[in-house]
Structure 1
């Protein structure tokens, strides 16, 4: 029996609503995300660049007006778990890409600030990252297909 059909049959018995097409879409979204992220991570590694999570943090910092965020803001924007983010920031600080400062008004709070080396690294990573996106995603569909898929995913994200 087909795994998708099996999932769909058992789910429909429980909910009565999930179609085979929706099940196939879910499976393909999850598999595609995993495969594309793994391919991009491999391209970054081959170019001797840090992992994609480093880029995500640097990008969020670079795009703020003052180049700084509180750790919880980075967590919200990147979807990294707090314990993973803390260790990641330790490594990034050790590499000179970010620095942490105590908030003057709250000795327990911290800012995470991007350094000039962090800004430079974000730009270098982007060069490899953009090429990887084009190679693994852009080359697989034309602009019309990419727009249609992006619009559909935006509807999913909005819940409409």
Structure 2
């Protein structure tokens, strides 16, 4: 009975050295029977890369059409923030329009009646602010305006109760928090 091979053939699916490099490898390598690890390209990749006759062509998209894709739309280096301007008359109109709660139509009436926004006359901004604050109190003592954020507030020392000490100590410890 012949012993059957249990290990895979090391040179069957991998490249092997030839000539002087085989002799060098056999002399230097600890186990010359081990595989080089380089697969045979024509054996593992069928069809081999580069052997196909047709060439790849990129599918046409809207971005590949130069007429619909100008450079200034693609140039991300010059995407500066756009200036937004709101005039005082527009701001006063917005303040007056949004100061009253919007009325919601009943479920059955919504289909027949479509509410059209009412054109407002131009009002001075100060008059708009006065009229909005008269109708409903914006700020009260319970509801104060927002304070600007302060990431590093200043420490204001306040004196705490003194630490225990003898009645006639020369330098009693004072505690602040």
With the length of structure 2 as denominator, give the TM-score of the two structures: 0.19
Richer in strand (by share) = 1
Higher gyration radius (CA): 2
With the length of structure 1 as denominator, give the TM-score of the two structures: 0.20
